[in-house]
Structure 1
Amino acid sequence: MERWHNRVAVVTGASAGIGAACVKYLANNGMIVVGLARRKERIEALREQVEATARDRVHAIQCDLRDQQQIIDAFKVIVAEYGPVAVLVNNAGTVRVTNLVDDNNQQDIQDVIDTNIVGVVNCTRESFRSMKAHGGVGHVFLINSISGHYVPNIPNTSFNIYPSTKYAVTAMTEVYRREFLMLDTKVKVTSISPGAVDTEIIASEIRELLANAPFLQPEDVADALIYCLQTPPHVQIHELTIKPIGELL
């Protein structure tokens, strides 16, 4: 991780779960970390959960990823106050309990699309602009899901638009790989697809159905991210799938 020391990493959805774990792991490994989330105070609280020497490297900006202008403004602040972006962790994601055929669920569906797809596009664009302007080197992570490769089958449960947004992330990973190369940079892109992770995103209805199922912890995903960052400059882990032992999904 030495080449990333004191470089800037941006983590979206940083207030809880996988995002919070990534903030802590990146800061403990020497990076300046800026977390983006609507609950800014929860990111700031993470300073008490990292090593004492890492506390000054954790920063927070309030940002709703459904709002493009908030994203643009946040990245302007990041570059001006902390330096060019070297690592982006597109972690923010949401899910809604609904069915595609339900009435009056347009806002739920739109929120999932705007967060899981459009927010990723906007954050990656702003990060890549910074990476390209400062040597054309960096690493973009897309926190994907196994549901971006197949739709899990849980009886009497609809994942509605969520798997479709994650399938989009899978396609975007390859599109970004080609664009980063086409634009003459050495920016890496990695999709990390976890199975069930014990986070707040799992609705109580689904959690009850999976009461006896094994779960990953957010730290398992953060640990995998650190592994990917440590690969040599010529190595790119394109897709990494992680499942807990015994998962049946």
Structure 2
Amino acid sequence: MGIEKYKGRVALVTGASAGIGAAIAQALLKEGLTVVGMARRVEKIKEFEVKGAPGKLHAIAGDVGDEGSILSVFKWIKDNLGGVDVLINNAASFPHNQPTDGKTEDWKSILDVNVLGLSICTREAVQDMLRRGVDDGFIIHINSIAGHMPPFIAAGAMYSASKHAVKVLLEGLRKDLTARGSKIRVGVYEMLVIPTASAL
């Protein structure tokens, strides 16, 4: 049995306003899931709603780099939809910065979104599933192969470091869930997302 078993259940997709986040949200809507698309540009999420899809889209404004914002989104989901069954950690930040003269706020943005925000979303989703006795939920981290290799350019060093952290955090999550005897599944989808000077 595949994704069809999740028809009518709730999926949270972070960074759902463009790119792969929007594509994932659309795919889940076509499979009949109730999709909460979270992003700062909430108006952009609404543009990707799939007409005639069996699923329902809820576009919610939220900033993965801000814990209060994340907690507000999870509270809204709990109050209005019952809870999260699927979490797609897609949001990412990669401003252009050099190791020798990068701006602290740029480094903080990368770590707050790519590492801490991802971890907070994961914690909240898992705790929500455990409270409700959901043992077939799953969590997917959208990652980059940049986390497996030295940066191609100096300006990508902090981004690559954050993506390596995602890989390590996933393995820690697996061990934690196994120790709890939980059957919540976790995984990673790694793409060729290597920031270049022009992309940053």
Asked if these proteins are the same fold (TM beyond 0.5), I'd say yes
Q: Which segments of 5 or more consecutive residues in structure 1 lack a partner in the other structure?
A: 208-249
Any runs of at least 4 consecutive aligned residues in structure 1 with deviations exceeding 2 A, and if so which? 134-137, 151-154
Aligned residues: 197
Asked if 1:84 is matched to 2:83, the reply is: yes
Task: Tell me if the contact between 2:151 and 2:157 (Cα under 8 Å) persists in the aligned partners.
Answer: no
**CA–CA distance in 1 between the matches of 2:197 and 2:13?**
26
Q: TM-score, structure 1 length as denominator?
A: 0.75
Q: Secondary structure at the match of 1:160?
A: helix
Task: Tell me if the contact between 1:13 and 1:19 (Cα under 8 Å) persists in the aligned partners.
Answer: yes
The match for 2:99 is 100
Give the letter aligned to residue 94 of structure 1. Answer: S
Task: Tell me if the contact between 2:8 and 2:33 (Cα under 8 Å) persists in the aligned partners.
Answer: yes
The match for 1:189 is 186
Give the letter aligned to residue 114 of structure 2. Answer: N
Alignment partner for residue 198 of structure 2, among 202, 205, 214?
205
**CA–CA distance in 2 between the matches of 1:196 and 1:125?**
25
**CA–CA distance in 2 between the matches of 1:151 and 1:195?**
14
CA gap of 1:44–1:196, structure 2 versus 1, over 3 A, is: same
Task: Tell me if the contact between 2:32 and 2:53 (Cα under 8 Å) persists in the aligned partners.
Answer: no
RMSD, matched Cα: 1.8
Percentage identity across aligned positions? 36
> 1:9 deviation in Å?
0.2
Asked if 1:175 is matched to 2:177, the reply is: no
Q: Output one character per residue of 1:145-173: Cα deviation in whole Å (capped at 9) or x when no partner.
A: 0011113525xx53030000000000011
The match for 1:163 is 160
Q: Secondary structure at the match of 2:137?
A: strand
The match for 1:145 is 144
**CA–CA distance in 2 between the matches of 1:163 and 1:203?**
12
Task: Tell me if the contact between 1:148 and 1:193 (Cα under 8 Å) persists in the aligned partners.
Answer: no
Task: Tell me if the contact between 2:95 and 2:106 (Cα under 8 Å) persists in the aligned partners.
Answer: yes
Task: Tell me if the contact between 1:65 and 1:71 (Cα under 8 Å) persists in the aligned partners.
Answer: yes
> 1:204 deviation in Å?
6.8
> 1:205 deviation in Å?
1.4
Give the letter aligned to residue 152 of structure 2. Answer: N
Q: Secondary structure at the match of 2:155?
A: coil
Q: TM-score, structure 2 length as denominator?
A: 0.92
**CA–CA distance in 2 between the matches of 1:206 and 1:35?**
24
> 1:184 deviation in Å?
2.2
Task: Tell me if the contact between 2:17 and 2:39 (Cα under 8 Å) persists in the aligned partners.
Answer: yes
Asked if 1:25 is matched to 2:27, the reply is: yes
**CA–CA distance in 2 between the matches of 1:137 and 1:101?**
45
**CA–CA distance in 2 between the matches of 1:2 and 1:53?**
14
Give the letter aligned to residue 121 of structure 1. Answer: S
Task: Tell me if the contact between 1:28 and 1:51 (Cα under 8 Å) persists in the aligned partners.
Answer: no
